[in-house]
Amino acid sequence: MSAEKFDAVDIIGIKRDRGTLTPDQIDWTIDAYTRGAIADEQMAALNMAILLNGMSREEISRWTLAMINSGERMDFSGLGKPTSDKHSTGGVGDKITLPLAPLVAVFGVAVPQLSGRGLGHTGGTLDKLEAIPGWQAALTNDALMAQLRDVGAVICAAGAGLAPADKKLYSLRDVTGTVEAIPLIASSIMSKKIAEGTGSLVLDVKVGSGAFMKDEARARELAETMVALGKDAGVNTVALLTDMSTPLGLTAGNAIEVQESVDVLAGGGPEDVVELTLALAREMLTAAGQPDADPEAALKDGRAMDVWRRMISAQGGDPDAALPVARESETIYAPADGVLVELDALSVGVAAWRLGAGRARKEDAVQAGAGVVMHAKPGATVRAGEPLMTLLTDTPEKFDRAREALADAVVVAPEGSRPARKLIIDRIS
């Protein structure tokens, strides 16, 4: 006879029949699955029932809490300064964490940015930073704390101790067509962020072809769900809905995105990257009690660059070392005279991935120098035959598949049809 408190088949039946799980049932489900007392096929059926029938706000909150309680919870209260973090749902060319973390730290707000590696067409922050010679992603909790105290900003790998239930559940969702359930995405992201122990959190929820959420209504629902979860857990949380129909900046890859981030820290860089970095910095600083801070000045006068250099050095990186360069390149040219009205984010992301900047399986290595450099963005006037993009890789046999990904990525229209891009679509608090 089983000593288990509930029966997995009954739990599945409740969600299949559009019922509501009690807090006790949710706690048991997450704990039993983590222990192996609920089989993968049972959890897969439950996930599908949740995807189809949804969950109440109370259920999502409890599900998140149960995932947090499956592992350790970090505590930064001993630091003596406020903490703030940012999470992006992922996009093409999204290197914002790199300039943002040191920028916010300039103002005495500690930024514990626990990040992941990329899978699929969106790049991972750690993959980008690992292009810097010597830089190490793994830190012990003690080293993380010391760096937050001394430098103020850390970007490092999230340890295995944070929300282990999510790790197991996410792998299962990945192979059972249940990643897309909003209650499961929201609880997955927020369980890790709340367990990380940040005092405030700014979410960058991407909308568009290169994003996880292709349409605005679903992105909004995800953002609202996550903001509510953060607040329920006592974390001051706001979200920006931002455009991901075209890549951020002029680079999608690893070393080339580091270089673009350094350009922003030097007071230059592409307009959209600067705009989003500043908008997110202002949100983080306001959420951490510093509404009057001037992040624009800190980018211009080198203070953010100083913190960047110390942050990279503290993790073994050489901020002055030359970044890796791909061995081979090919150019894509503008097909006609006119205005570039579309440069599709997903296509560029897939091309960068196929060139070697991303991985198809968790265990794959990435090429530091691979990726796509864009020479024009939507709104620019172009002339037929002018370079539009440079493809970079160490393995030239990859060019053909990357070109295929870009076959429909570009639309050039006659003069006069200039598109208007609204980078920051909305703010949800």
**Residues forming the site for ligand URA (CB under 6 A):** 170, 179, 184-185, 188-189
Examine the residue annotation and report whether 192 is marked as an active-site residue of this protein. Answer: yes
Closest to 252 in 3D by CA, of 356, 340, 332, 378: 356
Q: Which residue is nearest to ligand URA (CB)?
A: 188
- Per DSSP, 238 falls in state E
Examine the residue annotation and report whether 166 is marked as an active-site residue of this protein. Answer: yes
Q: Which residue has the tokens 């807090």?
A: 23
Supply the minimum distance, in Å, between the C-beta of residue 244 and ligand URA.
14
Tokens, residue 17 = 């029949």
Candidates 27, 85, 166, 344; catalytic one? 166
Task: Closer to ligand URA by CB, 122 or 246: give it.
Answer: 122
Q: Tell me which amino acid residue 215 is.
A: D
Candidates 15, 86, 168, 192; catalytic one? 192
Supply the minimum distance, in Å, between the C-beta of residue 203 and ligand URA.
11
State the DSSP H helix or E strand holding residue 189, giving kind and residue range, or none if neither: helix 182-195
Task: Closer to ligand URA by CB, 184 or 374: give it.
Answer: 184
Supply the minimum distance, in Å, between the C-beta of residue 180 and ligand URA.
9
Supply the minimum distance, in Å, between the C-beta of residue 61 and ligand URA.
16
Supply the minimum distance, in Å, between the C-beta of residue 90 and ligand URA.
7
Tokens, residue 15 = 């969600």
The CA–CA distances, whole Å, from 329 to 130, 269, 369, 393, 402 equal: 21, 22, 10, 6, 12
Task: Closer to ligand URA by CB, 177 or 385: give it.
Answer: 177
Find out whether 35 and 3 touch, Cβ atoms under 8 Å. no
Q: Tell me which amino acid residue 268 is.
A: G
Task: Closer to ligand URA by CB, 170 or 333: give it.
Answer: 170
Task: Closer to ligand URA by CB, 201 or 370: give it.
Answer: 201
CA distance 341 to 330: 23
Q: Please tell me whether residue 173 adopts helix, strand or coil conformation.
A: helix
Under 8 Å CB-to-CB from 177, ≥6 apart: which residues?
48
- Beta bridge partners of residue 242, listed in sequence order: 206, 424
Candidates 95, 173, 354, 398; catalytic one? 173
Please list the active-site residues: 87, 166, 173, 188, 192
